[in-house]
Structure 1
Amino acid sequence: MMAQEQNRKRDIADAGETSKSMEGVFHNYLEEKVRPYIDLIDSLRQFGIEEDLALPTIAVIGDQSCGKSSVLEAVSGVALPRGSGIVTRCPLELKLRNIKCGVQWKAVISYKEKFIEFDDPSLVENYVEAAQNELAGEGVGICDELITLEIMAPDVCDLTLIDLPGIARVPVKGQPEDVGYQIKNLILKYIEKDQTINLVVVPCNVDIATTEALKMAQEVDPEGKRTLAILTKPDLIDTGTEKNILDIVRNQVIPLSKGYIIVKCRGQKQINDRISLAEATREEREFFRDHKFFSCLLYEEKATIQCLATKLTQDLVDHIKKSIPLISDEVKKQLWSLRKELSHCEAGPPLDPLKRKAFFINVITNFYDKINRLASGEAVNNENLFILLRSEIKVWKDHLDKTKKSFQKMAQEVVDEYDLKHRGRELPGFSDYKVFEMMVQKLVIQLSGPATDTLRAISDTIHKQFSLVSKTCFLKYPFIQSVAMNKIDNTLSNQREKVERRIMEQFKMEQLVYTQDDIYFKTLNETRSKGKQKTSEDQQAKYPEMLHAYYEIVVQRLADQVPMLIQYFMLKESAQMLCSEMLVLMDGANVDDALREESDVSRNRTNLQNRMDRLTLAQEKLSNFV
């Protein structure tokens, strides 16, 4: 028995010396076998494949103040944000790259659209904290936006893992009441995936069966097949509980397929004393080597950060190897489904620059054709423009007809007043021509208001129809639609001002009180013929037939002239001007900007195409490993 104990101690010492010779350099002998697999998953992650399927990863979880940050510091060799309460407030993807080709130490931190490269390890803590403050806000809020920290150095392992916020039970000042719920949901989003290895950090000085982190891991992984537990703070356990800890590490309390590893990282005192991570690693090894109960764990390779790093890397690579065929099959399955879905999707602008230009010209030409057809009276949608215009023109004509009675009444009143106040020796009905002219001018000018109302109604109808053509032709292209709508607004606005001036000119001309003699006599005779059909009571009225005849001529003239002015300038000329301005776009517009799509159909097609592209890239990468 004594000889066996001496051999055990000698093996432990040899293991300690071996670890010492490897200090700062984790499992270099695995590099050639490990690196390609980790690079594969990282490249797939860069493609954005995680939007389509889960990738193998290691998620680090633990209750608050469990020593999670200390473990990550020891593995990565850099100081991360520390403190009480929630320190990790955003998921932190930690990429460690073992680089030997002359690189001393280099890091890149990226989040959202920011990308910061630096070569001073002491800046890591500040950069991570600044990123969290920007994403989650100052204070104690959390956010599910991912921060990626890539570290390239000659003395780190090849490993990628994701640090998640510590589990909080009771919100502190400044935290939302449901912060615990938010954190658990964030953690579950990662650990419930079958492709995730759950790395649970548990302090030795608490009852492992009551830790929330291990409980959450057991809920998503009841058989413990993808859960690895790390025991921290072995120097804080109560005397007499060492054997209980040994039972846990040896998988005899809560069995996990991947088992347990015990580590001792820097404590607060060591940090205050400015003990380096390298020195802390040496002290950790000495702690276990000299420990009465835990020294055996060195021999069993279940203690120290170095053993943890080696096991994590090997477990991750094994997990990746097992997952590659499944990932490859899922990629092929999704690609097949996407091709089928894309084949039924409405085609968009071609990618080839020349074909894209031709497509753009066709889009503009289609608008040109529809506007011209609309102005020519063809139906280009569910409504016929000229039917709509005719109804507005009828309103104008009906109004003119209604004014005849008021005109007749006013004319009779003027004649009566003239006879009463001004008639001398002349017979009744032979009023002064100036009175006749003044009365006509007064009545006709009153029609200018309804005329501009007709202009406004027809203008609005034309604007609506032009806009409808624009929306139909450029439904998927908001840039062109915006340009077209702007041109429609400006063109019709300018033309409307022009028509309003022309209408006012028409009413100024009507003040001349003029018509051809033969037209006047013809209308007068027709008026007299109608007058013979009146009753004897009507015939007794002193109605001036010549006023009635002339007003009929004015009504007929305005009934046609106002709509003709409006239709010519607001429809025919506006359509020509609009088409000319849109055709100019074909020479000066940026085709890519013009054809940028923003419809549900185009967004769906773009999303499908983006998925197709990244899955195709993933398939190419995976083909080298399947």
Structure 2
Amino acid sequence: MSIKTCFPKSCHAFLIVSKHRFEGQFHSHFEEKVRPYIDLIDSLRLLGIDDNLALPTIAVIGDQSSGKSSVLEALSGVTLPRGSGIVTRCPLHLKLRRIRGGVQWRAFISYKEECIQFDDPSLVEAYVRQAQNKLAGDGVGICEDLITLEIMSPLVCDLTLIDLPEIARVPVNGQPEDIEEQIKYLIRSFIERDEIISLVVVPCNVNIATTEALKMAQEVDPEGKRTLAILTKPDLIEKGTEKNILDVVRNQVIPLSKGYIMVKCRDQQQIDNKISLEEAARVERDFFKRHEYFSCLLNEDKATIQCLATKLTQHLVDHIKKSLPLLSEQIKKLLWDLRKELSQCEAGPPLDPQKKKDFYISILMKFNDKINCSATGEAGNEYNLFVQLRSEFRKWKDHLDSTKSPFHEKVQAVEKEYDLKYRGRKLPGFSDYSDFEMVVQRLVIQLRRPAIDTLRVIRETIQKQFSDVSRSCFPHYPYLQNVAMNKIDIIQSKQEAKVKQRILEQFEMEQLVYTQDGIYMKSLNETSLAVDVQKVSEDNFAGLDSRSKYPEMLKAYYEIVVERLADQVPMLILYFMLKESAQLLCNEMLGLMDGANVNEVLREESEVSRRRVNLQKRIDRLTLAQEKLSNFL
């Protein structure tokens, strides 16, 4: 049974209380069927779904001075901004909600971060003007930002629509030269969507075919399947044109599937006389009843604001029902695309507090694992530092070996210097052990600076590797990355100072000129063998001509020193700069778990993280929207 044939013509859906019990019961039943669908779309819009998908709604458009504001006032029961030029400067999302149970009138207006609740209908106009000035600036400019005005009253119909700026053809009063194109672009961005019903407001006293609003509606909806036209100002038409207007209303001039409705709203004189909207509705009905030509429109359900309200609600709900399956499929596809895009992003911290803490612990452990892998030197590990360090240690060993080649010249130079400065009364050739010690000490001390240089290079290599691990483990967490970098630098500095002290101590010990006898004999024999000299043992060593074997003896001991330093310096560096540093760093990072503000620690600052967060928010909104839709499908 259709609304058109059964809904009582006398039931004023938003201005008068039903006179008959049947009418009241029917209207209540109608509301129960309508309200959930309108609330559904409003809730989806509140979720921000219209940022991604077009939602079914009614967009109100019209040329300047078309009577659009008067129509909206009659529907909403409140006074909206009026005046010359562009009155609607921002899209106005008008939500009308009929309430029962003795609840008084109240409203909300919201835009950007503002949300104002009030209970005085006379404040609506001022609040809307204030919102437009904040969004579009003082003056005559327009803005695409949405203003939402929600009105709850026992005297309104259940309806949601969007009021768009009036089409201005000629810039006036400082308007931009392209104001017409700006407005048309904004209007077109709404009405070109298949989910939008275009409510076109056209004055009866102009040629309907010349109105810009209807032309735009025809461009995007050439068959008129989702266009409904309102004819205003029927009291201003010229005598003799009444039948032409009737032809328009009866769809015989520019056919529209949803047809035409004629209304007569308050004129300026009635506004000046402060005639209420309730009284204006009564005057409107009397006008059509008494009109010679237009009275028939009452019987055809094609006249009065009350008829318009009923049809708009009916069209909107029908349109919503028709759109829901497609909307559900669009949400499913968008969810699939967003989840796929999110899966390709680097994983970030979960939203759940406990899971976020677990995530925090896991990335710290991952960091420590990589640091430990760097320190242990396991084969096949990309973080293996030993490959780089071995190369540096080989350079140290090569430097030590390189000092052997000019050894004979250095020995002769030292001996000559000794003879000149220190020999005293001794004849040449009568050398003693102190000569031997002095030569060794002079040669060994020259190796101290290269050892410290090797330490510096190794420190830089290790610190760079540890820093790279920090960047790879905490790429989107600046707090953690800064903490790790600072700890790496502090620990490496302390350990470098410790190793430097140990190396210097090692060279101080080398001044003792000591090694085990057996080790020395082995080295001396290897040196003697190289120059084809008699093999030496502890038994015959005392009877040998020490002077004749002095170069070999010195060289043999120097070989021992070189071998000792070739291992000792790298071992000191490896232990303190790598192994102990890694342990200290891991302990320091684990200490961050105690009493940490996880939200602050995991605060992300990167394009990837912002993209991931935005994707997750969109997925959450769409998932909630899908759940809401499932209850209606």
The two structures share one fold, judged by TM-score above 0.5:
yes
Name the CA distance, whole Å, in 2 between partners of 1:554 and 1:272.
112
Where does 1:57-68 land on structure 2 (aligned, <5 Å)? 57-68=57-68
Which of 462, 468, 485 is the matching residue for 2:466? Answer: 462
Question: Paired residue for 2:207?
Answer: 207
User: Rg larger in 1 or in 2?
Assistant: 2
The one-letter amino acid of 1:459's match is Q
Give the unaligned 5+ runs of structure 2: 1-8, 533-549
8 Å CA contact 1:91, 1:146 repeated in 2: yes
Q: Which moved more, 1:433-442 or 1:82-91?
A: 433-442
Name the CA distance, whole Å, in 2 between partners of 1:459 and 1:444.
23
Q: CA offsets, 1:440-499, max 9 Å, x none?
A: 54662465345313311222123223543x25xxx8xx5xx5564344213311211112
8 Å CA contact 2:96, 2:152 repeated in 1: yes
The one-letter amino acid of 1:576's match is Q
Q: Which moved more, 1:147-156 or 1:178-187?
A: 178-187
Residue 619, structure 1, aligned to residue 623, structure 2? no
Aligned in 2, Cα 1:583/1:444: closer, same or farther, shift over 3 Å?
A: closer
Name the CA distance, whole Å, in 1 between partners of 2:438 and 2:107.
98
8 Å CA contact 1:523, 1:553 repeated in 2: no
How many pairs are equivalent?
587
Aligned in 2, Cα 1:462/1:295: closer, same or farther, shift over 3 Å?
A: same
Q: CA offsets, 1:515-552, max 9 Å, x none?
A: 4522695698489659849xxxxxxxxx9888877776
The one-letter amino acid of 1:455's match is R
Aligned in 2, Cα 1:259/1:409: closer, same or farther, shift over 3 Å?
A: farther
Q: Which moved more, 1:444-453 or 1:53-62?
A: 444-453
Name the CA distance, whole Å, in 2 between partners of 1:380 and 1:36.
69
Name the CA distance, whole Å, in 2 between partners of 1:372 and 1:320.
61
8 Å CA contact 1:80, 1:128 repeated in 2: yes
SS at match of 1:517: coil
The one-letter amino acid of 1:306's match is Q
Question: Paired residue for 2:324?
Answer: 327
Q: CA deviation at 1:33?
A: 1.0
Question: Paired residue for 1:504?
Answer: 500
Where does 1:355-394 land on structure 2 (aligned, <5 Å)? 365=365, 368-378=368-378, 382=382, 384-394=384-394
Question: Paired residue for 1:572?
Answer: 579
Name the CA distance, whole Å, in 1 between partners of 2:407 and 2:267.
105
Name the CA distance, whole Å, in 1 between partners of 2:121 and 2:572.
79
Which of 28, 31, 34 is the matching residue for 1:34? Answer: 31
Aligned in 2, Cα 1:486/1:404: closer, same or farther, shift over 3 Å?
A: farther
Question: Paired residue for 2:488?
Answer: 492
8 Å CA contact 1:524, 1:545 repeated in 2: no
8 Å CA contact 1:523, 1:552 repeated in 2: no
Aligned in 2, Cα 1:580/1:441: closer, same or farther, shift over 3 Å?
A: closer
Q: CA deviation at 1:123?
A: 2.4
Q: CA deviation at 1:158?
A: 1.2
Aligned in 2, Cα 1:461/1:292: closer, same or farther, shift over 3 Å?
A: same
Name the CA distance, whole Å, in 1 between partners of 2:478 and 2:126.
45
Aligned in 2, Cα 1:462/1:32: closer, same or farther, shift over 3 Å?
A: same
The one-letter amino acid of 1:305's match is I
Question: Paired residue for 1:115?
Answer: 115
Question: Paired residue for 1:11?
Answer: none
Q: Which moved more, 1:357-366 or 1:263-272?
A: 357-366
8 Å CA contact 2:491, 2:584 repeated in 1: no
SS at match of 2:500: helix
The one-letter amino acid of 1:575's match is A
Name the CA distance, whole Å, in 2 between partners of 1:179 and 1:411.
97
Q: CA deviation at 1:261?
A: 2.0
8 Å CA contact 2:331, 2:622 repeated in 1: no
Name the CA distance, whole Å, in 1 between partners of 2:13 and 2:470.
81
Q: CA deviation at 1:151?
A: 0.5
The one-letter amino acid of 1:194's match is D
Name the CA distance, whole Å, in 2 between partners of 1:408 and 1:82.
108
8 Å CA contact 2:90, 2:164 repeated in 1: yes
Q: Which moved more, 1:237-246 or 1:311-320?
A: 237-246
Aligned in 2, Cα 1:318/1:518: closer, same or farther, shift over 3 Å?
A: closer
Aligned in 2, Cα 1:255/1:345: closer, same or farther, shift over 3 Å?
A: closer
Counting aligned pairs with the same residue, the percent is 55
The one-letter amino acid of 1:492's match is I
Q: CA offsets, 1:317-360, max 9 Å, x none?
A: 34345x1xx62476379659968997999699999887887677
Where does 1:55-454 land on structure 2 (aligned, <5 Å)? 55-137=55-137, 139-169=139-169, 180-238=180-238, 241-267=241-267, 271=271, 274-285=274-285, 288=288, 294-298=294-298, 300-321=300-321, 323=322, 327-328=324-325, 331=328, 365=365, 368-378=368-378, 382=382, 384-398=384-398, 427=428, 441=445, 444-445=448-449, 447-454=451-458
The one-letter amino acid of 2:626's match is L
Aligned in 2, Cα 1:591/1:492: closer, same or farther, shift over 3 Å?
A: closer
The one-letter amino acid of 1:309's match is A
SS at match of 1:319: helix
8 Å CA contact 2:98, 2:156 repeated in 1: yes
Name the CA distance, whole Å, in 2 between partners of 1:265 and 1:429.
133
Q: CA deviation at 1:259?
A: 1.7
8 Å CA contact 1:491, 1:577 repeated in 2: no
8 Å CA contact 1:332, 1:619 repeated in 2: no
Name the CA distance, whole Å, in 1 between partners of 2:73 and 2:134.
22
Q: CA offsets, 1:134-190, max 9 Å, x none?
A: 444555554444332211111111111111233355666876776555544443343
Q: CA deviation at 1:199?
A: 0.3
Q: Which moved more, 1:583-592 or 1:85-94?
A: 583-592
SS at match of 1:576: helix
Name the CA distance, whole Å, in 2 between partners of 1:178 and 1:544.
100
The one-letter amino acid of 1:106's match is R
Name the CA distance, whole Å, in 1 between partners of 2:172 and 2:191.
25
Please report the RMSD computed on the Cα atoms of aligned residues, expressed in angstroms: 4.8
Q: Which moved more, 1:606-615 or 1:491-500?
A: 606-615
Q: Which moved more, 1:180-189 or 1:599-608?
A: 599-608
Q: CA deviation at 1:96?
A: 0.7
Q: CA offsets, 1:191-243, max 9 Å, x none?
A: 23333221011233433212222122112221112211112344554555444
Give the unaligned 5+ runs of structure 1: 1-14, 534-542
The one-letter amino acid of 1:228's match is L
8 Å CA contact 2:62, 2:200 repeated in 1: yes
Aligned in 2, Cα 1:224/1:120: closer, same or farther, shift over 3 Å?
A: same
Where does 1:506-585 land on structure 2 (aligned, <5 Å)? 506-509=502-505, 510=507, 513-518=510-515, 521=520, 525=524, 529=528, 532=531, 556=563, 559-583=566-590
8 Å CA contact 1:388, 1:461 repeated in 2: no
Name the CA distance, whole Å, in 2 between partners of 1:385 and 1:240.
98
Q: CA offsets, 1:39-79, max 9 Å, x none?
A: 22322441445567554321112234433222212211122
The one-letter amino acid of 1:57's match is T
Q: CA offsets, 1:576-600, max 9 Å, x none?
A: 3444455456665577888899767
